A and B are shown apart, each in its own frame.
Chain A
Amino acid sequence: MTDIDTVSLAAQDPDKNQPYLELGLKDDEYERIREILGRRPTDTELAMYSVMWSEHCSYKSSKVHLRQFGEDPPASDAMLVGMGENAGVVDVGDGLAVTFKVESHNHPSYVEPYQGAATGVGGIVRDILTMGARPIAVMDSLRFGDAAAPDTKRLVSGVVAGIGGYGNCLGLPNIGGEVGFDPSYAGNPLVNALCVGVLRHEDLQLAQAKGAGNQVVLLGALTGRDGIGGVSVLASATFDDAVDGGGAAGPSKRPSVQVGDPFTEKILIECCLEIFQAGLVTGIQDLGGAGLSCATSETASHGDGGMRVALDKVPLREASMSPLEVLTSESQERMLAIVEPSNVDAVLALCQKWGVVATVIGEVTEGDRLVVTWHGETVVDAPPGSLADDGPVYQRPVARPDDEMDALNAATGARLARPVTSNQLRDAVLVMTASPELCSRRWVTEQYDRYVLGGTVLAMPHDAGVVRLADDSTRGIALALDGNGRFAKLDPYAGAQLALAEAYRNVACTGARPLAVTDCLNFGSPEDPAVMWQFAEATRGLAAACRELGTPVTGGNVSFYNQTGATAINPTPVIGVLGVMDNVARRLPSGFTAADQAIVLLGATDEELDGSAWSWVTHRHLGGRPPTVRLSSERALAWVIGSAGDGQAITMAHDLSEGGLAIALVEACLIGGIGATVTLDGDPFVALFSESTARAIVATDDAEMLFELAGVNDVPAQLIGTTGGDALSVAGQFEITLSELRDASESTLPSLFG
């Protein structure tokens, strides 16, 4: 073992030159490690600190901004577990709780689209399992470069196949999400995956190692050389190389991407759920970013003592791995369980039943040290809290880029050529319907299983996914995931609020009551003060909006360094909103369900076209200010739809967002296979394409009751037409048959990516 650096060698050779800069640590960070340990770190310790103190694991740039979600949360009595754990947990009634979280896997998905996206799903599913929950559904939010750009097909095909390949094989229904295209993501796609799980209150598990003498058991896949340094090499750095067609930055970083095996994860899930059910563990943690380094230091730090780990006991895929590699490997499909000695045999027996490899690798100790040995030699002896919780915290410089922002906000689209004649309006509707930004996502969603587990009540293309929580219950949840990078580029504060408002509205449109939030904050480099300004604005806006809507942030993820060279992506806060519904049989679909029903537009329409899909799709214009945020109106709208849905006064609801009323009507017609005839007030162009918020269309047999309900709640309501026929007709303007709309909507993605 002569080539292994040990604690005693570190004492003998205190001034050894160490590659901390190459590992992503700064001079002062290295000095702090030496201070904490009272000596130089061993090579293995240095590697552990470098991954644990990486941006991805330590949140060192975002922490000061994220505090506002926890310190001043909105009033809510639904939160059981808040931020800081693997995922937040929300009470949904009947003794049931729901846990959900969204997480990014952007950089791995660019380097290796299939495996990057697949392991993104795998990682978030394990986060949910770790809480003691059975995962019941997944969703995803995806952003790619311009749809026609040369590298986009490689990324879209790989990412979609990876999400499907992993999620389908795990047996989790994919119930929704979004796909966006914008040149700002060309060298840095976004792959944000969400998972939701259900548990009984008493089944909640926590990631802590308590009770000296308790055994530390590693479950699941063998540890290999994949994903080493993923959190520091990939997730916490920028792709500097100029990138063209095949992704020039790709090949050299490919070993840092993990390789997924969904079958192993599936049996690991079933095995862990049986172990939880039998009450055999006192703590559990998944192995994700930073692998064993993270799982051991976090559970020890959150427990009541220390931990001793015999690293040579870890079952390896490659026998020649060094302790440093074993501790930082991000091999997938592994969990770390803390088990009382008397329960170890029972745990091992259940693992054998499911064919899951399980190995005792250490135990919880008295004291407050994490000690890792390698064939008897001590290679790590450090306070676990210094790794897991006390990483560096930065107050990064924040500066609004005044020149750029002032110019951007001044560049309104007021002078863009607008469609005026009936034919121009008709063409604009068809162009928008067929655009990659707004067209049918069927090519994507058909590659995902939405039926497995038998609880899916609504899935794509409806506004939100709705899942029944148990066979013997009518209770269900609704989930939506939304973001709009164009709005956030124009105004990051408003952009984050608008993303929340849209997800909130989507959930409300199913008839569910919005309850809680998860967020995935995708930004450029935190070392750029302009990016940090976007981040500070977005978090401030989101926290304020959450308070106003009464929906706390339960957890989520920050992804920095999303940029190519010096150019950052459009800031993209992606917001997931969870709602609850007492009776899923009353869920509202997004499509028309019957002919001869009144179509009512709820909410007020102003002329708000800057940042809109129309400006972008037809003119590639982005400038001005995004639409006004109207949170109290969103609340009132949600209340009216929820009450009307519950009283069965409306038969469907569809929110108005990208593409305005025009796209909402097209989608409601195509989803339901039923046409509509509408009459527009005022300027027909503004009526069709404005993206004023807090609006939805609903269909009803009882317009009078709806108007009364809307009036009482101060929600503007306007009768705009009637369902029926096989065309979308705008009185006095144009008519488009459903088959022409369907061809326009559904042929785009297959012809681009077939």
Chain B
Amino acid sequence: MATTPRIGVVTFPGSLDDRDAARAVRAAGAEAVPLWHGDAELRGVDAVVLPGGFSYGDYLRAGAIARFSPVVNEIVSAASRGLPVLGICNGFQVLCESGLLPGALIRNAGLHFVCRDQRLRVESVTTRWTSDYDEGAEIVIPVKHGEGRYVADQATVDALEADGRVAVRYLDNPNGATNDIAGIRNESGNVVGLMPHPEHAIDPLTGPSTDGLTMFGSVLGALVSA
């Protein structure tokens, strides 16, 4: 397999970290393919990143409008066929709104927007996006959000924990998330959503670590070996 893997990065009106996600994709060695919210096509990409931001102004509720966009419609059906999908921050909110992941993200417990270098533990390495980490690895990746407090009904949280579907957990919870949950995966491990921003931890010059690069490298490894 000599061809470079192609990873789509969606831009909604109001997406902010789309250029950063594309940069991280390129840094990991893949081609970043721009996907436009209004186009119902995925341009043959091998994986998709839903980046951070305030899609459609986050009017109504974070991610609530983006979930109805033509591109997300395509992503939902491709994900059910195994396409790797990573939702970062607003992208995680979109994944929850679209039903690809359970639960919801609500206003931070402290009521303030929080931007800080966040310590995390990788809880599940059986996903397309975390397979290159060591299980239990402690990593540092920035968080920056006002509505990042993960909540779900007790049965859902119990199921996530029992099935090992918590992907990453906060070591010092910045937002009051249930069970310190920072990110989760779906049952087959191709869809991961998390509040922290791995695309801002790819270069020590501009981020607190290079721990985020491993996330983009993980999906690449799986694609190249496939």
Contact = CB atoms under 8 A, between A and B. Distances in A.
Interface of A: 161, 164-165, 168-171, 261-264, 266-267, 270, 354-355, 445-457, 468, 471, 584-585
B13 A354 contact: yes
Contacts of A161: 112-113
Contacts of B157: none
Closest 6 CB pairs of A and B: A263-B57, A171-B16, A454-B20, A451-B200, A449-B144, A447-B113
A171 B58 CA distance: 14
B205 A457 contact: yes
A442 B52 CA distance: 23
Contacts of B59: 263
A452 B23 contact: no
B207 interface: yes
Contacts of A445: 115
B17 interface: yes
A264 B58 CA distance: 12
Contacts of B58: 263
Contacts of A355: 13
Interface in B91-120: 112-116
B149 interface: no
Interface residues of B, number: 28
Contacts of A454: 19-20, 23, 199-200, 206
A453 B20 contact: yes
Interface in B139-175: 142, 144, 146
B16 A468 contact: no
Nearest to B174: A446
Interface of B: 13-14, 16-17, 19-20, 23, 52-54, 56-59, 112-116, 142, 144, 146, 197, 199-200, 205-207
A115 to B, nearest CB: 16
B16 A452 contact: yes
Contacts of A468: 205-206
Given A171-B17, A454-B23, A164 B197 contact: no
Contacts of B19: 453-454
Contacts of B23: 454, 471
B197 A168 contact: no
Contact of B54 (A169, A446, A450, A584): A169
A455 B112 CA distance: 24
Contacts of A448: 113, 115
A501 to B, nearest CB: 29
A447 B115 contact: yes
A380 B221 CA distance: 67
A263 B206 contact: no
B22 to A, nearest CB: 10
Contacts of B114: 446-447
Nearest to A169: B54
B158 to A, nearest CB: 32
A446 B199 CA distance: 19
Given A451-B144, A452-B17, A454-B200, A263 B113 contact: no
Given A446-B114, A452-B144, 15 more contacts: A169-B54, A261-B57, A263-B14, A266-B13, A447-B113, A448-B115, A451-B20, A451-B142, A452-B52, A453-B19, A454-B199, A454-B200, A454-B206, A457-B205, A468-B205
